[in-house]
């Protein structure tokens, strides 16, 4: 049983895909040009991130979370198996290009759940939260929000209030690595075999939470800067880590500077209410700004919609129209 929990999900993947007997590994570390592949019987090995035989498109870079077939003699990746999901974001200094995939940086594959970590001691804006929600949707679902460093009690309450104004339906889980009760409640949310990707600003506490969940110092952490509490970009690569007690997998990521995507799939769930209201607007292409008989604005005037919620929807729409 314990062994099964530590296999990075390889056996389950083999069983589900009729691959028993095949040499299947999972990518557990991405250093840029080089990745680590973890296997059942051939240990861990490092290899080129872009396998020789793969077509030279961006998404053929082996990603953390990928299941691959490999040669046990040459330790090369032969094939990346089809992914159930990929998370990606726009490259930091991407120019606008016809070929949008080229400007997109893939982060990890075969992710079941995305946690966005917002720290109580860091600078926060609703717009940044919205960009996280639109960028890191997974299988048509919004990511889940973790409010970290909840031991900063007053700041936590302020943040929760601010978020509730803009997103009354958004569920937020508070967590502090110093609060065993909150850590236990978070563990209850994790299901065996689940692969969770954790994303958020540098210094938010992603690696600290990994250490807290594993009772180890698996991942390096570094104090945030005095004064503005900015992180120091301690984690540089993406890694998949085993949570042994839970039989699940935690993908630790570096704090990214830009959060946006050329590949936003759909309007975040948090705006579902506005999409419903918009069906009642007179004009199908209503922008809900100054058009007559706008049902969204009517709801705003009636107080059924907060100003913060309405305004963040408009900003989302503006970004969407710039993308298309």
Ligand X SMILES: Nc1nc2c(ncn2[C@@H]2O[C@H](COP(=O)(O)OP(=O)(O)OP(=O)(O)O)[C@@H](O)[C@H]2O)c(=O)[nH]1
Which one, of 70, 71, 78, 51, lies nearest residue 62 by Cα? 51
Long-range interactions of 34-38: CB distance < 8 A, separation 24+: 35/62, 35/64, 37/62, 37/68, 37/70, 37/75, 37/77, 38/8, 38/10
Q: Under the phi-then-psi rule, with left for phi > 0, alpha for psi from -120 to 50, and beta for the rest, what region is 193?
A: left
208 lines the binding site for ligand X (CB under 6 A): yes
Tell me which of 185, 223, 245, 272 binds ligand X, using CB under 6 A: 223
**Residue number with CB closer to Mg ion (51 or 205):** 205
Q: How far is the CB of 24 from ligand X (least distance, A)?
A: 30
Q: Which two tokens stand for residue 35?
A: 């990745």
25 interacts with ligand X by CB under 6 A: no
> Does 115 engage in binding with ligand X (CB under 6 A)?
no
Six-digit token string for 185 = 């409640």
Residues 239 and 28: beta-carbon distance below 8 Å: yes
x/- letters, 241..280, toward ligand X (CB under 6 A): -------------xx-------------------------
The 8-class DSSP code of residue 117 comes to: E
Residue with smaller CB distance to Mg ion, 51 or 254: 254
Which of Mg ion, ligand X, Zn ion, none does residue 231 bind to, with CB < 5 to 8 Å depending on kind?
ligand X
Site for Mg ion contains 113 (CB under 5 A): no
Q: Which is nearest to 90 in space by CA: 109, 105, 108?
A: 105
CB of 205 to Mg ion, least distance (A): 8
How big is the site for Zn ion, counted in residues (CB under 5 A)? 5
CB of 291 to Zn ion, least distance (A): 6
Q: Which is nearer to Zn ion, 29 or 288 (CB)?
A: 288
State which of residues 51, 65, 143, 205 lies at the interface with ligand X (CB under 6 A): 205
Binds ligand X (CB under 6 A): choice among 89, 131, 206, 309: 206
CB of residue 145 to ligand X, shortest distance in Å: 15
Nearer to Zn ion, 262 or 288 (CB): 288
Q: List 172's β-bridge partners, or say none.
A: 145
Q: How far is the CB of 265 from Zn ion (least distance, A)?
A: 23
Residues 240-269 contacting Zn ion, CB under 5 A: none
Q: What SS3 state is found at 109? A: strand
222 binds ligand X (CB under 6 A): yes
Q: Which lies closer to Zn ion via its Cβ, residue 151 or residue 291? A: 291
End-to-end CA distance of the chain: 49
Nearer Cβ to ligand X (120/278): 120
In the chain, % helix, strand, coil (3-state, to 5) comes to 30, 25, 50
Residue 281 found at the interface with Zn ion (CB under 5 A): yes
Query: Is residue 288 a contact point for Zn ion (CB under 5 A)?
Result: yes
Cα–Cα distance between 255 and 217 in angstroms, integer?
A: 19
Strand pairing of 144-148 and 238-243? Answer: unpaired
Contact 34, 20 (CB under 8 A): no
H or E element, residue 98: none
Residue ranges that bind ligand X, judged by CB under 6 A: 148-149, 151, 176-178, 200, 202-208, 221-224, 231-235, 254-255
Residue ranges that bind Zn ion, judged by CB under 5 A: 281, 286, 288, 294, 296
């Amino acid at each position: 049983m314990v062994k099964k929990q530590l296999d990075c999900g390889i056996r389950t993947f083999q069983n589900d895909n009729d691959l028993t007997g095949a040499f299947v590994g999972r990518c557990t570390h991405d250093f840029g040009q080089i990745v680590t592949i973890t296997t059942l019987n051939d240990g861990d090995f490092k290899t080129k991130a872009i396998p020789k035989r793969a077509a030279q498109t961006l998404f053929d870079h082996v990603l953390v979370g990928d299941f691959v077939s490999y040669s046990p003699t040459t330790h090369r990746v032969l094939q990346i198996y089809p992914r159930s999901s990929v998370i990606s974001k726009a490259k930091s200094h991407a120019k606008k290009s016809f070929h949008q995939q080229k400007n997109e940086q893939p982060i990890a594959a075969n992710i079941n759940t995305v946690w966005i970590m917002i720290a109580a001691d860091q600078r926060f804006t609703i717009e940044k939260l919205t960009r996280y929600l639109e960028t890191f949707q997974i299988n048509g679902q919004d990511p889940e929000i973790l409010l970290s460093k909840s031991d900063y009690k007053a700041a936590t309450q302020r943040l929760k209030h601010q978020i509730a104004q803009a997103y009354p339906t958004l569920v937020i889980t508070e967590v502090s690595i110093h609060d065993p009760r909150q850590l236990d409640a978070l563990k209850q949310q994790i299901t065996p075999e689940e692969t969770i990707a954790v994303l958020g600003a540098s210094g938010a506490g992603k690696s600290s939470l990994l250490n807290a969940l594993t009772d180890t110092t698996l991942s390096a952490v570094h104090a945030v800067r005095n004064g503005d509490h900015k992180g120091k970009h301690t984690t540089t690569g993406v890694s998949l880590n085993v949570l042994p007690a839970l039989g699940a997998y935690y993908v630790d990521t570096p704090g990214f500077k830009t959060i946006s995507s050329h590949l936003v799939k759909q309007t975040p769930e948090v705006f579902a209410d506005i999409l419903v209201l918009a069906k009642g607007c007179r004009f199908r292409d209503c922008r809900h700004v100054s058009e007559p008989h706008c049902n969204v604005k009517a709801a705003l005037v009636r107080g059924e919609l907060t100003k913060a919620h309405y305004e963040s929807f408009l900003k989302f729409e503006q970004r969407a129209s710039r993308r298309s």
